[in-house]
Structure formats: C-alpha cells, structure tokens
Amino acid sequence: MSAAAALPSPTPAGWLRRYARRPGAVIALVVLVMLVAAAGLAPWIAPQNPYDLAALDIMDNMLAPGQELGTGRIAWLGTDDQGRDMLSAILYGLRISLGVAIASVAAASAIGATLGVVAAYAGGFVEALIMRVVDLQLSFPAILVALVLLAVFGRGIDKVVIALVVVQWAYYARTVRGSALVESRREYIQAARCLALPRGRIVFRHLLPNCLGPLIVVATVQIAHAIALEATLSFLGVGVPVTEPSLGLLIAHGYNYLLSGKYWISVFPGVALVIAIVAINLAGDRLREVLNPRGAR
C-alpha cells in the first residue's frame, strides 16, 4: 500500500480539482504564491536594499506614501526614520519571516514525525516516555517557552529557529502518532512484520510515508503560527537582530510613531503580516479538507 492510496484521491490532479472547488482557497493560494515569490526575489525586485547603509539618505526619512525621494524615485509606501523605503523593507522583512518559519517547520516536522511514528510502532515504555514529554511540552504556552529560550540564547535568526523548533515539534509528534497507530493495524504493516523486515524499514519505508497527509496539513498551518510567533518575539525585542528586521521588528519600529501620525511605518508591515497569515491559514484549511477522506465531497 502506498502513501497515495491512503489519501482521498489517487492522483494529484484529483486533489487539485477538489482544491479548486473553493474560490476563496484558490485566491489564498495565489496570494501565498505571490508573497513567496516576492520574498524570494526581493534582492532583484525591491527598489532599494534597506540593509545597505550607503544607499540610505537621512534626508529621505519620514516621507509619506507617494512622496519623492532625493533620487527622484517615488516611495509608494513611504519611508521610515532612517530613510528606508518601506516597500523594500517589507519585501526583505517578508523574506526573513517566511525563511524563519519554513526552516523551523521543516526541522520541527522532521523531529516530531520521527518521534511520533517511533512511539506508535514501539509502544510500551518508549511510547509512554515520548508522549509524556510531548504532553509536558504542550502544557506550556509556546510564547513563554520561546521567550525563555531566547533570553538564554540571545538574539539571532538561528536562535529564533531553534526556539520555534523546540515549541513546535510536539504538535507533529502527537499528530503523526495518531495516524501511525491507525496505519500500524493495517494489513500491509502486518505483512511486513510477517516477512521479518527490519524495524527501521517498516517504520520509515512503509509506516511513515502513509502518515504524510496529516503531517502536511499540520505543517502548512504551523507555518502561519511560526510567522506570528516570530513576529511577536521580534516585536518584544528578543527575536531577530535589528540589522535584519523581519515584519514583526518593522511593526515594533514604527509603533513609536503611530501617535505622531506616521502610521505607514507600522501599519503597512502589519498589513503584509496579516495577509500572509490569513492566506496560509485559508490554504491550509482547504488542504486539510482535500486530504481528509471524510471531508471529501
């Protein structure tokens, strides 16, 4: 039995057709693809490199949206107090936010899926030990654990990724364990055991691939959660460094100017953050319906 057989449709074309039945989900997916493309191509499409101090002019600071820079170019989203073009800062910030989220989700899903499938297959003491650690991890608020870790490790993109991995892996472990418990009772696993195949081969070649459906759905939704958590940590001043601002740090940087009428420094990065999170959540919810056999229409 293959992984595809465990999913509601035998072909990717069938999944795409089922996904496309919701126009809202299609729009969310298109927006998400555009955001990822814009973040990936930021060094080439951004009007300015906000990290290049030589390209910044302090005389261009606090320009309102639509005003002209000293170079003659239009700052469509305005500039901040350092003269950085907000459109460029948002593109680069989105690049960092998405990069941190994707890296942390990839690492956390790999660790959590491995521990979850091992717990389901091994059972007994091994399962009890892993799941008690999972329960302990999930009993603490994610933001609290991340704050403690970053207070110990310090600021930095790599430190934020590690903190997000620590607070996220338990979600994947619990999800994959539930799916693996169901799959481990199926005939193809029993046949593999009767053939005396090595445990490692049964777990990673047969059992784990058939648990990828729920894992993909959880990973998609957790990307939005990771972006929001990273933005919160950066807003509180314990996330990414000021030399590489993410969307959360851009929002925090402009927060001090809201009461003075310089709304664009904080509002536009906030709008970009909301659009990214909503698009990921809508796409993830529809993906869950597509990959769920009970939810098939």
d(Cα 218, Cα 175) in Å, to the nearest integer? 8
Question: What per-residue confidence (pLDDT) applies to 297?
Answer: 45
- H/E segment holding residue 68: strand 67-68
Across the 297 residues of the chain, what is the mean pLDDT of every consecutive 10-residue run? 42 75 89 94 90 82 88 88 90 93 94 89 87 92 91 90 94 88 75 71 74 84 92 89 86 86 91 94 85 54
Question: What per-residue confidence (pLDDT) applies to 86?
Answer: 93
- For 114, how many CA atoms within 13 A lie in the half-sphere containing its CB? 6
- H/E segment holding residue 150: helix 142-153
**Which of 43, 154, 57, 21 minimizes the C-alpha distance to 91?**
43
d(Cα 150, Cα 124) in Å, to the nearest integer? 35
DSSP-based three-state secondary structure for 75? strand
Residues ≥6 apart with Cβ < 8 Å to 49: 43, 55, 88, 92
Q: Where are the domains of the chain?
A: 11-51+77-295
Question: What per-residue confidence (pLDDT) applies to 57?
Answer: 82
Question: What per-residue confidence (pLDDT) applies to 9?
Answer: 42
Considering the domain 11-51+77-295 in this protein, what is its CATH number?
A: 1.10.3720.10
Question: What per-residue confidence (pLDDT) applies to 7?
Answer: 40
Name the pTM for this structure: 0.85
d(Cα 193, Cα 52) in Å, to the nearest integer? 60
Q: Find out whether 180 and 123 touch, Cβ atoms under 8 Å.
A: no
Q: Find out whether 90 and 78 touch, Cβ atoms under 8 Å.
A: no
- Other Cβ atoms closer than 10 A to 39: 19
DSSP-based three-state secondary structure for 2? coil
